Every structure is written in C-alpha cells, then in structure tokens.
Amino acid sequence: PAAAHEWLVDCYRMRVDDEERWGGGNLRGLYDPGATPKSVCADFLIFCRLAVEAGCVPERWDWQAFLRIAAKLICYAFEKCDAQEKYGTENVFSVEMGGRSLRATGEQIFGSSILQFDASPAEERITDEVMGGPLLREGLFERVGGLKPWRWLAETLKIPHRPGFDDMSFFDFGGFSGGKGQGANHHSAKGNYDSSRGTKTQGGKGKATKGKGKGRGAKGKSHANRY
C-alpha cells in the first residue's frame, strides 16, 4: 500500500512538471510562483478528486496514510528523469505493453494530454468547486477521506525555498502569477530537488515572456491568489 500511495503522489508531481514543461508553461501546485501551503493542498485536492472519478483509486484506499506520504513529497519537484531513476523506467507507451506510466495515468486522471492547453470539463468543474469558497469546508472531501486528514495536510505542508521562483520579483514574471489563461509563456528554471530528501541539485535563472494563451487552471487564475 505504501508503494501505491507514493506512486500516485509521484503521478501528481510529474503532471505538475509536465504542464510547466510541455503544457504551455502552466504553473500549478508547487510551480505557481505565489504558492502557499493551502494553494498546493487545493491543487492536490483537485488531482485526488479527479483520480477518484477516473477510477484510479481503489475503494479501500487509506487516505490518512496516503496524505502522510503526500505531505513529505508534494512540495518538491519531480521530473521524468527522477521517475526513471526511481522506478527504472517512465514511458507513456508502456501502458500499451501491459506496463504502467506516471504520465499516462496523469492524462487519464486529468482527462487531457500534457500537450492539450485546455482543461477537461471534469477538471474545470472540480476546480470551480474547490476554488469556489474556503478550502477547508465540508462537502469537498466526501470521497477523498473526509475533512480531518486534509486539514492536517494543509497545516503541515511547508513550501521550501525554490531557486528560480522565490528569487524573482513580480516583474520577472511579466507582472503575472498563474496559468495559461493569462496569456504568458513561462520558461522558468525552477531548480530541481531530490524526490525524497528535498535537496537542491541544480538551479538557474528564469525568464518569462508574454504571449497569447487560452485558459487553464482555475480558468487561468493562480490558486495562490485564492488561498
């Protein structure tokens, strides 16, 4: 069970990286320049609710144990090379050969390819529900373990220093903090972290250039602007 819990958490973390890298520079979760513990928790909640709806979470899922693992990992970046090192392989086509893939599972959960700039109807609906009021409110957590473990997660998460993000000012991001819907194409060197220890392995300077884009991720609004 612990391995399955960590694998699903890594599925989320890789999707966050994929959307920044391949999805038009969409910055969500940890990669949102204005990320807070509650905004990261909200983004992870959207993922978990989508995963349940997509049938990717077994009925007897220990949400409390799962969120304990998530608390240690979702505030650290996780790229394809990290997945290959950790699991030996990561290939979206592995599913066709009877294997599994973090990226392919993420696409199944979100209902959209990493190259698809628009959110799926399911993602838009759940994002609207999560972002439509205070995060820690009844009704959002019925199928994902209840309010209590999520309250613990929101109060436990710590956002580490993120080279390439935290060292930049508002103007370094073109006066913008959010996703595709505000028409920005970001190419930010966020700095990479070891998936288990959270130690910096490399970093760099980032830049942002304005462009034309379509909405995604809370209809183009940063979760951090809400929480």
pLDDT category, 94, cuts 50, 70, 90? low
Check residue 93 and give its pLDDT: 58
Q: Which of 8-12, 88-92, 136-140, 182-186: highest mean pLDDT?
A: 8-12
The structure tokens listed for 218 are: 């809370």
Per-position b or e across 39-74, b if 16+ CB within 10 A of its CB = bbbbbbbbbbbbbbeeeebeeebebeebbbbbbebb
> For 159-200, how does the pLDDT look when each residue is reduced to its tens digit (9 = 90+)?
987 666 665 443 333 322 333 332 233 333 344 334 333 333
Whether this prediction's pTM lies above 0.85 is answered by no
Q: Whole-angstrom Cα distance, residue 217 to residue 223?
A: 8
Q: Whole-angstrom Cα distance, residue 17 to residue 191?
A: 11
